[in-house]
C-alpha cells in the first residue's frame, strides 16, 4: 500500500522535469533569423540579421500595411558572436539560427578573408547545413538584406529558392552550402568559389514593399567570386561560371546558343552533363583530360535550317562543340592566368590519380597556372521539341 | 569433471550464481545476447571513432575501421574459447580458479574497477554529447544524475529485464540507423577513397588497433555464463560484434563520403553532423533530433552492461550474497567519478585519442589471454564444466 | 549545505530500501561492505557538491603511462 503511494509520488515528481525547464525556449520568444550578413567594419565586423515577423507572414489575420514581414538589424563587434550578442540590445527576441536560409559576405570582407567569420558559423550548434553562402557585389551585405522581394514575403527565403532553382536550370550560378565551402577550404586541391549577388535597380526604392507590378529593385545573382585559400581575388563572369560548373560536373540543365549555317542563332537545352577527368603525365607534369558527355535538346531555332536532314544536326552538334570549347577555355584562361586559383578541383584529381606528382608539388595554385588542360566535349543530340521545321524556314516570304 | 584445485571455493560461488538466476531457465537468451553485444559494440564508439579514424588514417579510415573490426572479431573468438572452457563462471570467478585466491581476487577486483571507471566515462561521454549538440543550457550534472538513476534502476531489475529491453529497442534503432545512412547512398563515390594507402600501412594499422580497443568486448565475458549454453552462445557473441562493427563501418565510411575526410576529422561528433545532412524529398528533413534515440539507446545499454559487470565483479570478489545490494551505492559513486574524469571536452578527446588504447590493453586483451594460457596449462585441452554442482537436482 | 542535505537524504532512502532485508538475513558481511561503499560514495558526492576538485583518475592514468613511456 505504502509502496504504491511511493510510486505514484515518484511518477508525479518525475513529471516535473518533463516540462523541460532548463533549455526551454518558447516559440514566441525566438527571433527566427533567415538571413545573415557580415561586412567589414573598422574594428571588426558589422553583422546584419533578417528576422521574421511571424504575424505578418501569414495572410489569415489581416496584414497591417505599415508592418513588414521581416525586420533587419545591424550591429558591430570585434568578433561575429560579439556583434550578435550586442544585438540583444536592439532586438526584443532571442536570435535563433536553425532556420537560416542565406549568409551574405560583403565584398570587402571577402577580399580580406572569410575563414575568421566562418568559424562561428561552423562551430555554433544551431547552424545546420541547408543555407547558401554568397558574396555581395557592389553593395554591402546589410543593404542586400534590406531589399524587399515581391513574390516571397521573406526575402532571404526568396534568395535561397532562387539560387537553388537557377543552379538547377542555368549553369551560371552555383549553390554552395557550408559543408562544401569547408571542404574546399580545408582540402589542398581546390579553391573555393561563392556566387555573387547584386541589387538590380533602385537601391533606395527597393527598401519599401512595392505597390507596382514591376518591382523597383530586385536581387540578382551574377557571376561567382573566386577565392585563393580564403581570400577573394576576383569575379568570374557568366562564361567563367559556366566553365566552372561544366568542368565540375555540376550542371543539371542549362541553355547554350550556337550560330546557324546561314546566319541566325539557335538555342539548345542542355539536359545532362557527365564529366570525367583523367589525369595523365607528361614527364613530371600533370596533364588534365576532361571528357564531357553532353546531351542536348533543341530549344529554339531562329534561322533558316532544314531540320529534316541529318547533316543539319551534325552541323549543329559541331557548332555547339565549338561554342562549348570556347566558353570553357575562356573560363579556364581566367582561372589560370588571371586568378591563379584552382577553382575546378583539379588538384583533388591529381591527388587521387597521380599521387607521385602530387607529393612533389609545393604550391599547387602555381602548378595549376602552368598546367595543360585538354577539354573534349562530346555532344549528343536527342530531341527537337514539338515542331519540326523552324518557323523561319516554313513561313511565307 | 575438472581439476580439484580450489574446487570447494569456486563451487560455492557457482551455487551463489545459480541461486540468483532462475534455476533452469537462462537469464539471457541467445538472441538477446546477440543484440546486447551489438548495442555494446556500437556504444559510444559511434560518436567518437569516425573522427579519430579520419584524423589518423585520412581517406583510409574505412580500411582502418575494417582492420579494427577484424581485430575485435579475433579477440571475441579467443574470448569465447575461454568462456566455453568455464561455461558457468564469469571471468572474475575463473581468474580466482586459475591465479589462486589472492592474486586472482586482486586481478578480478582490478577488472571490476576498470569496468566501473569505464561506466563513469560512458556517462560523461553522453553528458558532453547532449550538452554540446542539443541542450547546451542544461548543466551536465543534471543530465548525468538522471542518466545514472536510469542505469542503476535498470541494472537492479536484472539481466533478464534489460536484455529483453534491448531486444525491444532493436528494431527501432535499426530503422533509425537506416535513415541515418540515407545521404550516403547519394554521395557514394569510390573516387573519394583514393589514393589508397597513401601514407603506408602504419597509420591504418595504428588507427585500427586504437579503434579495436574502444569496443571493450572483453567486458561481456562477465555476462557470458548467464546466457543460454550451447553453440549458439559463441555464435551470438561473434555475430553481435560483427553487426555492431558493420554499423560502425557504415557510419565511418559514410561520413567520409558525405562530409569528407577533413570535415569528419574536425567535427567533434561526426555522426551527428551526418544526421544533419539527411534530406529526403523535402519530407524527411531536420530529423537529427529523432536520431538522437540511436545514440542515447546504445550508450544506455552499454552503460547498463558495463556497470552491472562491475557490480557482479565486486560481488564475486568479495563474496557478497545479495547481488543487488551494492547497485545503488555504487551508482551514486559513478557521478563524482564521471564529473572528475572529464574536466573538459578537449581533455576527454585527447585522453581517448592518445592514452585509452594503452590503458585498456592490459585489462581487455592481456588479462583474458593470460587466463586462457593458464587454463590450457592447468586444465589441459578438456573444457572444464561445472554444469551440475553435486547435490542439486538438474 | 543543501548539497550535503540532499546527499544524506538520498543515502537515507537507499538505506531504508535495502537494509531491512539484509538485517533480517543477518548478513553482516554484506552490510558492512554496503556501508563502506555508501559512506565513500556519499562523501565523494558531497565533496562534488561543494565544487571541491576531486583527483582525476584519468590524469593519474596519463601520468602512469607517460612515466612508463619515459622508461623505454
pLDDT digit string (tens) for A72-91?
A: 999 999 999 999 999 988 88
Residue of B133, B136, B263, B266 to mutate, testing the A interface (most A Cβ within 10 Å of its Cβ): B263
Set of cell numbers at residue C54? 576531486
What residue spans define the domains of chain A? 26-236, 237-397
Tell me how long chain A is: 397
Residue B121: list chain C partners with CB under 8 A. 58
Per the CB < 8 Å rule, is B262 touching A17?
A: no
Q: Which chains touch C (3 or more CB pairs under 8 A)?
A: B
**CA-CA distance, B35 to B45, in Å (whole number)?**
16
**CA-CA distance, A105 to A110, in Å (whole number)?**
6
What DSSP element (H or E) covers A372?
Answer: strand A372-381
**CA-CA distance, B319 to B335, in Å (whole number)?**
25
List beta partners, residue A256.
A268
pTM: 0.88
Establish, for the pair of chains B and C, how many residue pairs have beta carbons separated by less than 8 Å.
Answer: 79
The list of chain A residues with pLDDT below 50 reads none
Question: Phi then psi for A10, rounded to 5 degrees?
Answer: -60, -45
Cβ distance B220 to B83 under 8 Å?
A: no
Residue B114: list chain C partners with CB under 8 A. none
Q: Does C22 touch chain B (CB under 8 A)?
A: yes
Per the CB < 8 Å rule, is A182 touching B263?
A: yes
Set of cell numbers at residue B99? 591465479
Tell me how long chain C is: 72
Residue B252, pLDDT > 50, answer yes
- pLDDT greater at residue B197 or residue B116: B116
List beta partners, residue A268.
A256, A298
Q: Does C55 touch chain B (CB under 8 A)?
A: yes
Q: How far is CA A333 from CA A287, A329, B269, in A?
A: 15, 6, 41
User: Residue B388 — very low, low, confident or very high, per pLDDT cuts 50/70/90?
Assistant: very low
Residue C57: list chain B partners with CB under 8 A. 117, 337, 340-341
DSSP states of B243-272 as a string? HHHHHHHHHHHHHHHHT-HHHHHH-SSHHH
CA B387 to chain CA mean position, Å: 27
Per the CB < 8 Å rule, is C21 touching B326?
A: no
Cβ distance A380 to A293 under 8 Å?
A: yes
C4-23 pLDDT, tens digit per residue, is 888 899 899 999 888 888 88
B156-194 pLDDT, tens digit per residue, is 998 989 999 999 999 999 999 998 888 888 888 888 888
Only one residue has cell 511571424, namely A54
Q: Does A183 touch chain B (CB under 8 A)?
A: yes
How much of chain A is helix, strand and coil, in % rounded to 5?
35, 30, 35
| Mean pLDDT along residues B370-389 | 71
Q: Does B137 touch chain A (CB under 8 A)?
A: yes
Q: Please tell me the distance in Å from B218's CA to the nearest CA on chain C.
A: 20
Residue B223, pLDDT > 80, answer yes
C26-54 pLDDT, tens digit per residue, is 888 888 899 999 999 999 999 988 888 88
Within 10 Å of residue B22's Cβ, how many Cβ atoms? 10
Question: Phi then psi for A300, rounded to 5 degrees?
Answer: -155, 150
Set of cell numbers at residue A344? 575546378
**CA-CA distance, A288 to A368, in Å (whole number)?**
10
pLDDT of residue B389: 38
Residue B341: list chain C partners with CB under 8 A. 56-58
Residue of B328, B331, B362, B363 to mutate, testing the C interface (most C Cβ within 10 Å of its Cβ): B328
Question: CB-side exposure of A357: number of CA atoms within 13 Å?
Answer: 24
Residue B330: list chain C partners with CB under 8 A. 37, 41
Adjacency order of strands within the sheet including A285-302: A254-259, A265-282, A285-302, A372-381
Set of cell numbers at residue B84? 566455453
Residue A23: list chain B partners with CB under 8 A. 134-138
Q: What CATH architecture does domain B13-365 belong to?
A: Up-down Bundle (1.20)
What residue spans define the domains of chain C? 2-71
Cβ distance A77 to A44 under 8 Å?
A: yes
Residue of A11, A16, A23 to mutate, testing the B interface (most B Cβ within 10 Å of its Cβ): A23
Residue B337: list chain C partners with CB under 8 A. 44, 57
Q: Please tell me the distance in Å from A6's CA to the nearest CA on chain B.
A: 15
Cα-Cα-Cα-Cα torsion B142, B148, B151, B154, nearest 10 degrees, comes to: -90
Within 10 Å of residue A210's Cβ, how many Cβ atoms? 15
Only one residue has cell 582502418, namely B64
B130-165 pLDDT, tens digit per residue, is 999 888 888 899 899 999 999 999 999 989 899 999
Q: Please tell me the distance in Å from B126's CA to the nearest CA on chain C.
A: 17
Set of cell numbers at residue B237? 557473441
Pick among 3.30.300.210, 3.20.20.70, 3.30.1490.20, 1.20.1630.10: CATH of A237-397 = 3.30.300.210
Q: What is the DSSP letter of A45?
A: E
pLDDT of residue B382: 64
In chain B, where do the E strands start and end?
A: 279-280, 284-285
Cβ distance B98 to B371 under 8 Å?
A: yes
Q: What is the DSSP letter of A174?
A: -
Amino acid at each position: 500500500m505504502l509502496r504504491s503511494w511511493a510510486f505514484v509520488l515518484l511518477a508525479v515528481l518525475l513529471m516535473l522535469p518533463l516540462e523541460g525547464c532548463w533549455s526551454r525556449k518558447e516559440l514566441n520568444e525566438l527571433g527566427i533569423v533567415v538571413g545573415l550578413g557580415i561586412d567589414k567594419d573598422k574594428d571588426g565586423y558589422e553583422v546584419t540579421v533578417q528576422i521574421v515577423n511571424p504575424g505578418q507572414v501569414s495572410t489569415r489575420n489581416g496584414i497591417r500595411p505599415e508592418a513588414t514581414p521581416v525586420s533587419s538589424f545591424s550591429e558591430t563587434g570585434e568578433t561575429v558572436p560579439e556583434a550578435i550578442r550586442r544585438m540583444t540590445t536592439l532586438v526584443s527576441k532571442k536570435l535563433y539560427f536553425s532556420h537560416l536560409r542565406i549568409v551574405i559576405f560583403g565584398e570587402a570582407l571577402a577580399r580580406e578573408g572569410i575563414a575568421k567569420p566562418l568559424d562561428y558559423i561552423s562551430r555554433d550548434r544551431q547552424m545546420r547545413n541547408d543555407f547558401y553562402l554568397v558574396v555581395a557585389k557592389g553593395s554591402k551585405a546589410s543593404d542586400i538584406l534590406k531589399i524587399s522581394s515581391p513574390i516571397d514575403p521573406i526575402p532571404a527565403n526568396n534568395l535561397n529558392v532562387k539560387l537553388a532553382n537557377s543552379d538547377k536550370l542555368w549553369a551560371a550560378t552555383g549553390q554552395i552550402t557550408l559543408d562544401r565551402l569547408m571542404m574546399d577550404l580545408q582540402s589542398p586541391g581546390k579553391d573555393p568559389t561563392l556566387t555573387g549577388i547584386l541589387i538590380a535597380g533602385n537601391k533606395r526604392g527597393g527598401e519599401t514593399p512595392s505597390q507596382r507590378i514591376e518591382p523597383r529593385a530586385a536581387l540578382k545573382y551574377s557571376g561567382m567570386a573566386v577565392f585563393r585559400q580564403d581570400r577573394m581575388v576576383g569575379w568570374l563572369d557568366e562564361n567563367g561560371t559556366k566553365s566552372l560548373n561544366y568542368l565540375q560536373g555540376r550542371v543539371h540543365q542549362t541553355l547554350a546558343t550556337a550560330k546557324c549555317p546561314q546566319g541566325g542563332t539557335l538555342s539548345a537545352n542542355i539536359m545532362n552533363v557527365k564529366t570525367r577527368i583523367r589525369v595523365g603525365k607528361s614527364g613530371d607534369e600533370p596533364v588534365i583530360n576532361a571528357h564531357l558527355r553532353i546531351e542536348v535538346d533543341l530549344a529554339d531555332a531562329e534561322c533558316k535550317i532544314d531540320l529534316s536532314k541529318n547533316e543539319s544536326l551534325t552541323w549543329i552538334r559541331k557548332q555547339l562543340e565549338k561554342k562549348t570549347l570556347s566558353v570553357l577555355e575562356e573560363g579556364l584562361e581566367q582561372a589560370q592566368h588571371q586568378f591563379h586559383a584552382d577553382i575546378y578541383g583539379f588538384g583533388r584529381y591529381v591527388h587521387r590519380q597521380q599521387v607521385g606528382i602530387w607529393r612533389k608539388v609545393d604550391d599547387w595554385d602555381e602548378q595549376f597556372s602552368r598546367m595543360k588542360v585538354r577539354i573534349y566535349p562530346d555532344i549528343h543530340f536527342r530531341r527537337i521539341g514539338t515542331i519540326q521545321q523552324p518557323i523561319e524556314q516554313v513561313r511565307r516570304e | 569433471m575438472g581439476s580439484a584445485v580450489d574446487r570447494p571455493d569456486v563451487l560455492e560461488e557457482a551455487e551463489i550464481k545459480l541461486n540468483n538466476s532462475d534455476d533452469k531457465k537462462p537469464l539471457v537468451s541467445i538472441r538477446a545476447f546477440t543484440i546486447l553485444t551489438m548495442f555494446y559494440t556500437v556504444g559510444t564508439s559511434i560518436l567518437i571513432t569516425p573522427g579519430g579514424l579520419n584524423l589518423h588514417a585520412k581517406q583510409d579510415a574505412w580500411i582502418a575501421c575494417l582492420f579494427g573490426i577484424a581485430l575485435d572479431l579475433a579477440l571475441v573468438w579467443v574470448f569465447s574459447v575461454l568462456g566455453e572452457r568455464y561455461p558457468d563462471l564469469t571471468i572474475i570467478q575463473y581468474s580466482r580458479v586459475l591465479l589462486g585466491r589472492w592474486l586472482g581476487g586482486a586481478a578480478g577486483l582490478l577488472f571490476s574497477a576498470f569496468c566501473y571507471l569505464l561506466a563513469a566515462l560512458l556517462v560523461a561521454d553522453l553528458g558532453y554529447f547532449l550538452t554540446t549538440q542539443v541542450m547546451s543550457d542544461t548543466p551536465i550534472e543534471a543530465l548525468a544524475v538522471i542518466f545514472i538513476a536510469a542505469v542503476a534502476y535498470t541494472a537492479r531489475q536484472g539481466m533478464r529485464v534489460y536484455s529483453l529491453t534491448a531486444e525491444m529497442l532493436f528494431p527501432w534503432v535499426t530503422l533509425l540507423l537506416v535513415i541515418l545512412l540515407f545521404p550516403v547512398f547519394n554521395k557514394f563515390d569510390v573516387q573519394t577513397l583514393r589514393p589508397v594507402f597513401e601514407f603506408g600501412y602504419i597509420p591504418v594499422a595504428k588507427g585500427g588497433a586504437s579503434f579495436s580497443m574502444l569496443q571493450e568486448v572483453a567486458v561481456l565475458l562477465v555476462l557470458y555464463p548467464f546466457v543460454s549454453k550451447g553453440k549458439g552462445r559463441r555464435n551470438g557473441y561473434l555475430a553481435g560484434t560483427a553487426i555492431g562493427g558493420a554499423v560502425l563501418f557504415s557510419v565511418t565510411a559514410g561520413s567520409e563520403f558525405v562530409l569528407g575526410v577533413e570535415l569528419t576529422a574536425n567535427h567533434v561528433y561526426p555522426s551527428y553532423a551526418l544526421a544533419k545532412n539527411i534530406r529526403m524529398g523535402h519530407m524527411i528533413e531536420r530529423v537529427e533530433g529523432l536520431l538522437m534515440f540511436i545514440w542515447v539507446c546504445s550508450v544506455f545499454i552499454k552503460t547498463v552492461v558495463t556497470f552491472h559487470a562491475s557490480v557482479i565483479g565486486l560481488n564475486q570478489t568479495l563474496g557478497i550474497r545479495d547481488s543487488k545490494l551494492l547497485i545503488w551505492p555504487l551508482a551514486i559513486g559513478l557521478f563524482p567519478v564521471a564529473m572528475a574524469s572529464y574536466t573538459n571536452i578537449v581533455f576527454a578527446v585527447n585522453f581517448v585519442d592518445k592514452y585509452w588504447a594503452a590503458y585498456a590493453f592490459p585489462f581487455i586483451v592481456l588479462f583474458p589471454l593470460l587466463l586462457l594460457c593458464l587454463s590450457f596449462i592447468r586444465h589441459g585441452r578438456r573444457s572444464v564444466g561445472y554444469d551440475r554442482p553435486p547435490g542439486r537436482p538438474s | 549545505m543543501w548539497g550535503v542535505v540532499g546527499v544524506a537524504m538520498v543515502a537515507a532512502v537507499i538505506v531504508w530500501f535495502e537494509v531491512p532485508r539484509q538485517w533480517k538475513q543477518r548478513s553482516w558481511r554484506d552490510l558492512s561492505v554496503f556501508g563502506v561503499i555508501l559512506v565513500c560514495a556519499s562523501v565523494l558526492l558531497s565533496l562534488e557538491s561543494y565544487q571541491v576538485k576531486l583527483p582525476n583518475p584519468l590524469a593519474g592514468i596519463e601520468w602512469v603511462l607517460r612515466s612508463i613511456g619515459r622508461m623505454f
